[in-house]
Amino acid sequence: MNEADPQKYHVITFGCQMNSHDSERISGMLEQRGMVPAADQDDADVVVFNTCTIREKPDQKLYTQLDQAKGSKRRRGGNQVIAVGGCLVEAQRDNLLAQFPWVDVAFGPGRIRDLGNFLELADGEGASVGQTPGDGEGFYGIADERSFASELPTRRDRPHQAWVQISMGCNMKCSYCIVPAVRGREVSRPFAEIVTEVERLAADGAREVTLLGQNVNSYGNHLPRDGSPRTFAELLRAVDAIDGIDRIRYTSPHPAHMREDVIAAMAECSSVMPQLHLPLQAGSNRVLKAMRRTYTRERFVDLAAKIRASIPDIAFSTDIIVGFPGETEAEFLETVEVCREVQFDGAFTFIYSSRTGTEAAALTADFIPPAEQQRRLEHLVDVVRAIATERHQRHVGSVQPVLVEGAARKPANRLRGRSPHNVKVIFEGDAPDGAIVPVRIVHATSETLLGRQLTDAGELVAAPASSRSVVTFDTIST
């Protein structure tokens, strides 16, 4: 490599939206140091794995990729920094660097800035990135050592959409969840700091923001009680008042903490989208108690009904775990019944995965055979898809304002975007990324709406001369 060429980085992300946002901060920090994105891992001077440990599958995938990283580092003569960050690092802090000695640095999710410190240390020793000692160094901490990465620059893949972290950690004690152990107790960012960041994002062209936290409803509980705004409902209203922000979403709330002031803010703020991710996890009261979810099936159903009464067109999505230790067939069917009663527009469904360090991991005698877990999952997925398809049919014939995200991957010559209900929309049209355009919906599936862009006068957009030429939906197999 020519000495004048900038050094390259490659970030590989596992897990949730919070991890994706953390990766944006990592990428922004590295670019601030003069680095540029690499096409792939082998071409990078710095490789960063940003990890998740909520379920077992991401762990195994990471271990496989770390084994492969040993080869890429060897092919570069050792001149490659391998860094591992995120939740798995915090969970495996005692053995990760020993198990993978070719990893140069490990850092927990609250220590993102320390990746930069490590690189600065390498520079201070007179070595360029990629020529650092290979015996590894770790930066951990889930208490006072943590800090928000909000002052770090961000590299957003979609300039018109942005994630904004409002808190870190969680004070709940769900028996299956490892998050409190790897992200620590809940800490809220200062109210004014969040508003200032959103104002800056709006000035930079963002039209949609998603507020992120492990439990957004409890935002502000530990902020000073000095009379200044500090609740999540107040935060929604403050962000709604910012010029240039057309869409506000948030994730995730806890059903037990969903207060009426938040429901009112959602109903009254024009920028808050009619969409809510409300994690159910299970429909059986006994299982919910074993999960330590602190609400009952009845309370969840009543909450959904109350929200729908205030926001009739609300779209609910949810998380559901099947095969929790000791779950009977009858209890599983209670979950199916709640899905039918609440009418979710979508659901993320998971087979229970034991996590070392959680209370549920000790319930080994009650583990459900994998084949039975899989059968239940497939049945639940079929039910959820059928409900979602029926729910999405209500949009057929309507005109939806769609935020354009870019060209659709499939089929070709279409655009893709999101409706206010956070449903993916594939449509015929011609509009720049970041525009919000009217789209008449002509077909719906469980996951996608198909449509055609209209002009402001309600006419179909004429076929453009560009590569985004209109191709009729008669060619689409649905």
139-190: pLDDT as tens digits:
777 767 777 777 777 888 789 999 999 999 999 999 999 888 888 899 999 9
For residue 146, being part of any structural domain is answered with no
C-alpha to C-alpha distance for 288 and 320, rounded to whole angstroms: 11
Section 206-227 average pLDDT: 93
For residue 25, being part of any structural domain is answered with yes
- Between CA 172 and CA 94, with CA 138 as vertex, the angle to 5 degrees is 65
Give residue 132's pLDDT. 42
Same structural domain, 406 and 388: no
Give residue 154's pLDDT. 80
Among 106, 139, 172, which residue terminates a domain? 139
Task: Give the count of domains, the chain.
Answer: 4
Section 382-388 average pLDDT: 98
- CATH code at position 20: 3.40.50.12160
285-326: pLDDT as tens digits:
999 999 999 999 999 999 999 999 999 999 999 999 999 999
Same structural domain, 257 and 310: no
Query: pLDDT grade, residue 475 (50/70/90)?
Result: very low
Give residue 152's pLDDT. 74
Give the Å distances, CA to CA, from 195 to 128, 155, 395.
38, 19, 33
Residue with tokens 């709940």: 172
CA 426: distance to chain centroid?
Answer: 21
Among 139, 166, 193, which residue terminates a domain? 139
pTM above 0.85, yes or no: yes
DSSP code of 89?
A: H
Residue with tokens 């991890």: 19
- CATH code at position 443: 2.40.50.140
- pLDDT at residue 392 greater than cutoff 90: yes
Domain that holds residue 457: 396-475
From the number of C-beta atoms within 10 Å of its C-beta (0-12, 13-18, 19+), residue 364 rates as exposed
Same structural domain, 127 and 164: no
Query: pLDDT grade, residue 130 (50/70/90)?
Result: very low
- CATH code at position 234: 3.30.750.210
